[in-house]
Amino acid sequence: MKTAVIGTGYVGLIQAVGLAHLGFKVIAYDIDISKINALKRGNPPIYEKGLKELLHQNRERLFFTTSVEDLKDSEVIFVCVGTPQDSQGKANLNFVFSAVENLKPLLMGKEIVVLKSTVPVGTNRKVQQLLGDKAFVVSNPEFLREGIAVEDFFNPERVVLGFSENHPEWVREKMFNLYRFFLKKNIPFVVTNWESAELIKYASNTFLAMKISFINELARLSEKVGADIKEIARGMGLDSRIGNKFLNAGIGWGGSCFPKDVSALIWQFKEWGIEPKLPKVTKEINDEQIPWFLNKIKKHYGGNLNGKTFALLGLAFKPYTDDLRESPSLKLAELLIQEGAFVKGYDYVEGTRENVKKLVELKASTRHSYGLIVYDDLNTAVKGVDGIIIAVEYKEWNRENWKEFSKLVRNKAIFDGRNILERILVKKLVKEGWHYEGVGVNI
């Protein structure tokens, strides 16, 4: 079966490489020539564990192109373009519609066009209307987590497929045949209509964001009353109806998905005349979380951060990614700088450090100077600082040489914005004279 992928971002590239690994011939198309050229040379434009290796392994089945005509004769075409947030918080569908418009003249009436991009309710129906009888539109939202996206592709917890009631039976059969690898692995398939498939995606992301916002709000109370949010989360999570995942309190959720998807769901409620209560509060709590954490830091320094220097550990929105979109760490850096502090940044992922360096250069060129410097060496980042702030949940911080940090810092203070340092280590550090503050924890 000949397949094609439109868009070689996080979703499209993993889909293309994953399908090639399952034995399909895949044509991956993007309008960005530099991306396609890099891919032709075997260099993924993003960092994702295992991706480069998989790309090399499956080279003979993967074709990269900037010419839309090359998509002709593909039987199943996956649309994997971005649906960013517009200025009002709505999903911007321009990339989706322009991809479909460009594709339309090449279609012969037997192709399946699969929307993998996260799209608001009603979009699959609109795309089908646009294509008429030139193709069959199927909704197939993705649930890949950045950082472990390759692993998630081969081991999904579910496959969601949304069809129209008017689709002939062979459309379903062809999709099942394409995804037979997952069927054989007994991965549950949710086969439904377009609208449900579209909402499953928004509901899943918003629900996860809501879990985090719930625990973050509770952390504020926990801290006031001398309770410990980590123990509360454990006590809650052992109830299998609640589950222990996504209950880590911290400086909040970011990334390319949760912020835009929560906002887009809020819009969809509004457009259908329903007040979006929980999604709205989920976002509000998240918006407050970084200023709340900054206040804790400020308090420790008597309300004034002017001239203070901080080591900021972790710069992307989560571990093992170089994606800086809506990074809570960088938002915190911005606020620290506004308070007159200097920030020395470090991240384990080299691509993240490089991306932040580029961002700093850009900011410096428009503002003359910008108080964030990225270091390639952790010890240098920590040297001479008034406090260490942990902003990304790398477990690796636990295994760093804190004895050495004691000698390097000017002031022994840790602000653990992800509650990632283990209790035993924290107790030891406090004994050795460190000031430790987490999010809602009781040491």
Rounded to an integer, what distance in angstroms lies between the CA atom of residue 253 and that of residue 258?
Answer: 7
Residue 77 CB, nearest approach to ligand UGA (Å): 20
Residue 19 CB, nearest approach to ligand UGA (Å): 17
Residue 142 CB, nearest approach to ligand UGA (Å): 5
104 contacts: CB under 8 Å, gap ≥ 6: 130, 131, 134
Residues annotated as catalytic are: 257
- The residue behind tokens 């952790």 is 378
Which parts of 163-308 fold into alpha helices (H)?
169-178, 180-184, 194-225, 229-237, 258-271, 277-300
Start-to-end C-alpha separation, the chain: 58
**Tokens read off for 255:** 């990334």
Cβ(94)–Cβ(59) below 8 Å = no
Which residue, 4 or 390, has its beta carbon nearer to ligand UGA?
Answer: 390
Which residue, 80 or 135, has its beta carbon nearer to ligand UGA?
Answer: 80
Distances (CA, A) of 123 to 130, 139, 199, 269: 10, 9, 11, 15
Which residue, 297 or 409, has its beta carbon nearer to ligand UGA?
Answer: 297
Rounded to an integer, what distance in angstroms lies between the CA atom of residue 384 and that of residue 319?
Answer: 25
Which residue, 143 or 176, has its beta carbon nearer to ligand UGA?
Answer: 143
Residue 440 CB, nearest approach to ligand UGA (Å): 12
Residue 94 CB, nearest approach to ligand UGA (Å): 19
123 contacts: CB under 8 Å, gap ≥ 6: 93, 96, 115, 198
Residue 286 CB, nearest approach to ligand UGA (Å): 9
Which residue type, as a one-letter code, is found at position 216?
Answer: N
Which residue, 56 or 145, has its beta carbon nearer to ligand UGA?
Answer: 145
Which residue, 214 or 370, has its beta carbon nearer to ligand UGA?
Answer: 214
Instruction: Please state the φ and ψ torsions of residue 181, each to the nearest 5 degrees.
Output: -55, -45
* Residues near ligand UGA (CB under 6 A): 118, 142-146, 205, 208, 212, 246-248, 250, 252-255, 257-258, 317-318, 393
Instruction: Please state the φ and ψ torsions of residue 355, each to the nearest 5 degrees.
Output: -65, -40
Which residue type, as a one-letter code, is found at position 440?
Answer: G
Rounded to an integer, what distance in angstroms lies between the CA atom of residue 375 and that of residue 401?
Answer: 17
SS3 state of residue 77: strand
